[in-house]
Amino acid sequence: MPEIKSIDLRGKIADAGAVHFLRAEWMVPRSRFVIVRFSLHNKEQPLGVRLDLDKRAILDDVQDEETSAAVKARAQEIWNLVINYRKERHETYV
Amino acid sequence: MNRLRKCTPPLFHSGGAHGQESGMALFYKGVGVGTFLYGNDPRINGMPPRAPAITYNAGVAMRHIVRATTVSPCVSLTRSYGVAEMYAREASLTFPSVTSPAYVYEVDIPDPIPTGITLIDPVREVAATLPSPVTSLSYFHDGDKEFILGVASPTLMATHLNAPIRQPPGSGGASRSAVLTLELEALVRALRDAEVLVHGTVPASLVTVRHAIV
């Protein structure tokens, strides 16, 4: 089983309403998608949301429309953290 | 295990002129853990689109393929098991496990296609909208030949996507990356994923096999 790679998002990504961002995770090297873990009202949720790195977008909704929009607005910032992490480790092709 | 059965003419809108001989074509659908289709077994409930009320047109098909929207009147299928498995494994809301695996479903679609669904080949659909080459750039680009690699894999091959175009000596044009239209992006991504769209709900009777992906 491949190990889970994880980037700590706490303190790096601003909250979106009651959503507090925790980690970006992936298991497959160079995977196109990462799972963004978050807590809602201080309770970590069993399911995260998908960040599509190719589209630089979070695909899933959280709670209501306003919260979802706020979560999706964080996609580029999280993308930057993931890509910088991968670049430092030469996990991009070119 | 099911493999590709007799596959009569490539693809197809339903009700077309392909009904001279009958056959079955095998498609795949990757379903990640926690995603829209995950909780309702498509072998029992079929595969409905997220937004069946949206009116379909070629622009909707292109945005379905290219943009981040998951709200669409279409369902994506692929001719490639490998592509479906990638989506199932990587596009989950939590990591697949033995107790909660992701799935790849096999979808057997007969020819003629059943009434009530339309099977759309995105490449043909986009191509049908393209103007004359002298009218606009449409699906053409003006970058290097590696530019297509960047379109197909914009994260891993970002260098090719963002490379400044070469210009004739002395032209004095602004430095910029190549032109990328919605049409070109849709064509490349559809080809990359061997993607086919279904407009309407895929009937449960066509979903024949489920593979667990851990």
More confident residue, B18 or B114: B114
Q: What is the mean pLDDT of residues A13-28?
A: 96
CA dihedral angle for residue B121, residue B37, residue B84, residue B6, rounded to 10 degrees: -60
Give the tens place of pLDDT for each residue, B130-156. 999 888 888 999 999 999 999 999 999
Q: Is residue A9 part of a domain?
A: yes
Query: Is 60 exceeded by the pLDDT of residue B7?
Result: no
Taking Cα atoms as reference points, which of B81, B148, B113 lies closest to residue B12?
B113
Smallest CA–CA distance from B158 into chain A, residue:
A94
- Interatomic CA distance for residues B69 and B194, integer angstroms: 19
pLDDT reported for residue B138: 86
Q: Is residue A12 part of a domain?
A: yes
Cβ neighbours for B2, distance < 8 A, ≥ 6 positions apart: B26, B106, B108, B208, B209
- Could you please report the per-residue DSSP string of B47-95? B--S-TTSPP-HHHHHHHHHSS----SEEEEES-HHHHHHHHHHS-SS-
Q: What share of chain B has pLDDT > 70, as a percent?
A: 89
Is there a contact between B157 and A55 if contact means CB atoms under 8 Å apart? Answer: no
Is there a contact between A49 and B93 if contact means CB atoms under 8 Å apart? Answer: yes
- Interatomic CA distance for residues B84 and B107, integer angstroms: 12
Residue A29 tokens, joined? 């090297």
Instruction: Give the angle subtended at the CA of A88 by the CAs of A82 and A91, to the nearest 5°.
Output: 70
Q: What is the CA radius of gyration of chain A?
A: 13
Tokens 């980690």, residue located:
A23
Domain boundaries, chain B: 23-128+194-213, 147-180
B157 CB within 8 Å of a chain A CB: yes
Q: Is residue A94 part of a domain?
A: no
Is there a contact between A54 and B92 if contact means CB atoms under 8 Å apart? Answer: no
Tokens 């849709």, residue located:
B186
- Could you please report the per-residue DSSP string of A69-81? HHHHTTHHHHHHH
Structural domain of A21: 5-88
**Given pLDDT bands bounded at 50, 70 and 90, which one contains residue B5?**
very low
Tally of domains within chain A: 1
B34 CB within 8 Å of a chain A CB: yes
Q: Which CATH class is domain B23-128+194-213?
A: alpha beta
Is there a contact between B95 and A35 if contact means CB atoms under 8 Å apart? Answer: yes
Amino acid letter, residue B94: T
Q: Which residues of A touch B156 (CB under 8 A)?
A: 30, 92-94
Query: Is 70 exceeded by the pLDDT of residue B13?
Result: no
A-B contacts at Cβ under 8 angstroms: 57
Q: Which residues of B touch A25 (CB under 8 A)?
A: 95
Q: Is residue A19 part of a domain?
A: yes
ipTM above 0.95, yes or no: no
The residues in A 17-76 lying below 8 A from B, measured between CB atoms, are 25-28, 30-33, 35, 46-50, 52-55, 57-60
pLDDT reported for residue B22: 59
Query: Is 80 exceeded by the pLDDT of residue B10?
Result: no
Give the tens place of pLDDT for each residue, A23-78. 999 999 889 999 999 999 999 999 999 999 999 999 999 999 999 999 999 999 99
